[in-house]
A and B are shown apart, each in its own frame.
Chain A
Amino acid sequence: AQSVTQLDSHVSVSEGTPVLLRCNYSSSYSPSLFWYVQHPNKGLQLLLKYTSAATLVKGINGFEAEFKKSETSFHLTKPSAHMSDAAEYFCVVAPYNQGGKLIFGQGTELSVKP
């Protein structure tokens, strides 16, 4: 069965410090993987996507993620947090040949302290 697990429901960092949001996935075949961000009362915005090209994926707003097949992980990182990064982040897997169904993680709420 395909699944995605975000290991932290809430992460708190100080402004200017690194951000790490962890995600592990389970998929029978090589999946496509995504990170989405949702600001309060807004829809989901695509941050970045992995679709079997380079394993280190760069996204918008300075975020990047590394696909590690051996660890079945796709952690999201940013070198220096900004106050505007405070939001909920979703790790998402699109299993191979599943008719477009996306499987969402439970979400990680990122707080950024001044």
Chain B
Amino acid sequence: ETGVTQTPRHLVMGMTNKKSLKCEQHLGHNAMYWYKQSAKKPLELMFVYSLEERVENNSVPSRFSPECPNSSHLFLHLHTLQPEDSALYLCASSQDQGNYGYTFGSGTRLTVV
């Protein structure tokens, strides 16, 4: 374990379902991130939270809704997704501006059917 835990590891959901991805870090970091990794594409930054405030929303569709209730937890709420949203969703955390790197979780493999 890296210190960043993501649950569930795998998720299959229908296009009309509502589900949430959870990320938890025990590293004392003050910034957390959601990334999307699709097959054969570079990692896409979705959201950045710094000190529990969203500081970046990278033109992500509204069917993805992040929530950061405290500095240790980050959620990604999913609603009416499309099949093209199937991907590996990675959570990461860092101290301050991440100039010393991020610590990533193992990801949630999402399949939308």
14 extra interface residue pairs, beta carbon distance < 8 Å, beyond A44-B104, A51-B100, A101-B48:
A32-B100, A43-B6, A45-B104, A46-B101, A49-B101, A51-B99, A90-B43, A96-B99, A98-B97, A99-B97, A100-B99, A101-B56, A104-B43, A107-B42
- Chain B CB within 8 A of A28 CB: no
Partner of B101, one of A32, A41, A43, A98: A32
Q: Which stretch from B14-22, B67-75, B77-85, B105-113 is at the chain A interface? A: B105-113
Most chain A CB within 10 A, of B33, B98, B109, is at: B98
Number of interface residues of B (CB under 8 A): 29
Query: Please, which residues of chain A bring their CB within 8 A of the CB of B107?
Result: 41-43
Contact A100–B48 (Cβ < 8 Å): yes
B-to-A contact residues, CB < 8 Å: 2, 4, 6, 31, 33, 42-43, 45, 48, 50, 55-56, 88, 90, 92, 94, 96-107, 109
Contact B55–A45 (Cβ < 8 Å): no
B51 to chain A, nearest CB (A): 11
Contact B50–A43 (Cβ < 8 Å): no
Contact A41–B103 (Cβ < 8 Å): no
Contact B55–A102 (Cβ < 8 Å): no
> Interface residues of A: mostly helix, strand, loop or mixed?
loop
Q: Chain B residue with minimal CB distance to A96?
A: B99
Contact A43–B98 (Cβ < 8 Å): no
B36 to chain A, nearest CB (A): 12
Please, could you name 6 A-B residue pairs with CB atoms under 8 Å apart, sorted by A?
A: A43-B104, A43-B105, A99-B50, A100-B48, A100-B50, A102-B98
Number of interface residues of A (CB under 8 A): 25
A-to-B contact residues, CB < 8 Å: 32, 34, 36, 41-46, 49, 51, 90, 92, 94, 96-102, 104-107
Query: Please, which residues of chain A bring their CB within 8 A of the CB of B43?
Result: 90, 104
Contact flag A101-B45 (CB < 8 Å), given A42-B106, A43-B2, A43-B107: yes
Partner of A49, one of B56, B90, B100: B100
Contact flag A106-B42 (CB < 8 Å), given A43-B105, A46-B103: yes
